[in-house]
């Protein structure tokens, strides 16, 4: 019986060991299963996080692309606006320059027309003045000519009236050219024969007649006064 008891106990012990072994094996399998599930769960979580990260990165990349695209579009828009504004300014500057050039040409044209008008007016006035001066000079020359002839005739008459025929001159056609110098009042300061008559007595009588006729008539014209300050005339007695 004791042996049977021992055998029974041994069987029981082995049975318990087997049960324990099975439990441990089940426990180990359960732990392994749990670990596998945790691994799978962790792997799934990792994949989910990677997918989420990838999605986030793609979202960021998309946003960055959109931001860059917007920046590029804004830059392009600003560049186009700048070019448009620059073209507008150039067009305005060109328009102003053309207007300024046109105004300058118009001003120059007006100035040239005014210059020509003034030149024509100045020429007209100058021609008128020249014609007037010519008329005045002609009138003065005619007046001086008349006065010259009148004064010369008066001098000759006065000298003739003061002349005394010398002996031996009767019946002879004599004449002498004399130069006479007068002061402003017509007083004789010098008289001399520059072309003798051939008769010294006749020549002396002419000089004497001029001195006796002192003062001689003088012109009123200022231009003739200087002319009669010293003049030459031919004395030929009246027959």
CATH of the domain at 221: 3.30.1150.10
What whole-number distance in Å separates Cα of residue 70 and Cα of residue 74? 6
Residue 196, domain extent: 67-239
159 token code pair:
């000298």
- The reply to whether 4 falls in a domain is no
Domain count, the chain: 1
- The reply to whether 165 falls in a domain is yes
- The reply to whether 139 falls in a domain is yes
- Say which residue the tokens 């959109």 belong to: 66
- The reply to whether 1 falls in a domain is no
**Count of CB atoms within 10 A of residue 228's CB?**
22
- The reply to whether 237 falls in a domain is yes
Q: Of 189, 169, 200, 196, which Cα lies nearest the Cα of 230?
A: 189
What whole-number distance in Å separates Cα of residue 9 and Cα of residue 81? 103
- The reply to whether 31 falls in a domain is no
Confidence class of residue 20 from pLDDT cuts 50, 70 and 90? Answer: confident
The three-class DSSP label of residue 175 is coil
Question: Tens digit of pLDDT for each residue in 176-221?
Answer: 999 999 998 899 999 999 999 999 999 999 999 999 999 999 998 8
60 CB-contact burial (10 Å; exposed 0-12 / middle 13-18 / buried 19+) = exposed
Question: Tens digit of pLDDT for each residue in 100-128?
Answer: 888 888 888 888 888 898 988 888 888 88
**C-alpha 125: how far from its chain's center?**
31
- The reply to whether 185 falls in a domain is yes
Prediction pTM value: 0.47
Q: Of 182, 165, 199, which Cα lies nearest the Cα of 233?
A: 182
């Amino acid at each position: 019986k004791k042996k049977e008891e021992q055998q029974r106990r041994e069987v029981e012990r082995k049975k318990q060991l087997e049960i324990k072994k099975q439990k441990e094996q089940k426990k180990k399998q359960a732990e392994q299963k749990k670990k596998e599930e945790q691994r799978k769960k962790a792997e799934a979580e990792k994949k989910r996080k990677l997918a989420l990260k990838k999605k986030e990165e793609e979202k960021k990349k998309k946003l960055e692309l959109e931001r860059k695209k917007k920046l590029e579009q804004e830059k392009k828009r600003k560049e186009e606006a700048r070019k448009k504004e620059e073209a507008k300014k150039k067009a305005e500057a060109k328009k102003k320059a053309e207007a300024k050039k046109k105004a300058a040409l118009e001003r120059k044209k007006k100035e040239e027309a005014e210059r020509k008008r003034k030149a024509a007016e100045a020429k007209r006035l100058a021609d008128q003045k020249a014609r007037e001066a010519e008329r005045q000079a002609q009138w003065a020359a005619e007046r001086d000519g008349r006065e010259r002839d009148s004064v010369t005739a008066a001098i000759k008459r006065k000298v003739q009236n003061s002349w005394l025929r010398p002996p031996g001159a009767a019946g002879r056609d004599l004449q002498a050219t004399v130069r006479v110098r007068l002061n402003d009042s017509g007083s004789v300061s010098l008289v001399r024969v520059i072309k003798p008559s051939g008769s010294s007595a006749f020549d002396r009588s002419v000089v004497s007649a001029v001195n006796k006729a002192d003062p001689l008539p003088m012109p009123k014209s200022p231009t003739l006064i200087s002319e009669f300050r010293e003049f030459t005339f031919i004395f030929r007695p009246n027959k």
